[in-house]
């Protein structure tokens, strides 16, 4: 699962560099995640995805920590290991403690369990109705 063919800053076009600069400025960091370097091979996708993520993840009615935990909840449900690692790190940076993470996982597990059950239950009730 090696990540090769990433577009590094040095080799990036002006258009790609502008996005990288905005990512680093917005996140107050001096590095860009491999996710962005990988999709940078298609600059249109890079720009569109970053603009959407930036707009969606900015604190608004929900704060940054809540948004990152929601992201983790979806990623765990979808079994996307890369997404889990990256957004759990962001959630921790935004203040998620070990206890919060444990409760987050417990809710996600329970939500996946009860998602599966009702379908079967519903059919059972229906099929026996007069």
Binders of a second copy among residues 4 to 33 (CB under 8 A) are 4-6
Q: Return d(Cα 92, Cα 18) in angstroms, integer.
A: 27
Tell me whether residue 24 or residue 66 sits nearer to a second copy (CB atom): 66
Residues 6+ positions from 25 with CB-CB distance below 8 Å: none
Minimum distance, C-beta of residue 64 to a second copy, in the bound complex (Å): 11
**Locus of tokens 């920590």:** 65
- Tell me the number of residues near a second copy by CB under 8 A: 80
The CA distance from 93 to 112, in Å, is: 26
Q: Hey, which residues between 58 and 117 contact a second copy (CB under 8 A)? A: 60-62, 66-67, 69-85, 87-89, 97-117
Near a second copy by CB under 8 A: residue from 42, 50, 93, 94:
42
CA 88/CA 55 separation, integer angstroms:
19
> How far apart, in whole angstroms, are the C-alpha atoms of residue 69 and residue 72?
5
Minimum Å gap between C-beta 120 and a second copy is 5
Closest among 87, 99, 96, 97 to 27, alpha carbons compared? 87
26 vs 114, beta carbon nearer a second copy = 114
The CB-of-92 to a second copy minimum distance in angstroms stands at: 9
Min CB(33)–a second copy separation in Å: 11
């Amino acid at each position: 699962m090696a990540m090769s063919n990433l577009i590094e800053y040095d080799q990036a076009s002006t258009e790609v560099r502008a996005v990288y600069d905005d990512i680093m400025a917005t996140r107050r960091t001096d590095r860009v995640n491999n996710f962005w370097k990988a999709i940078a091979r298609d600059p249109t996708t890079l720009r569109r995805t970053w603009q959407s993520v930036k707009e969606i993840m900015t604190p608004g009615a929900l704060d940054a920590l809540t948004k990152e935990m929601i992201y983790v909840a979806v990623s765990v449900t979808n079994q996307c290991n890369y997404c889990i690692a990256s957004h759990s790190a962001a959630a921790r940076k935004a203040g998620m403690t070990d206890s919060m993470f444990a409760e987050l996982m417990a809710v996600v597990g329970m939500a996946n369990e009860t998602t599966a059950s009702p379908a079967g239950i519903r059919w059972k009730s229906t099929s026996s109705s007069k």
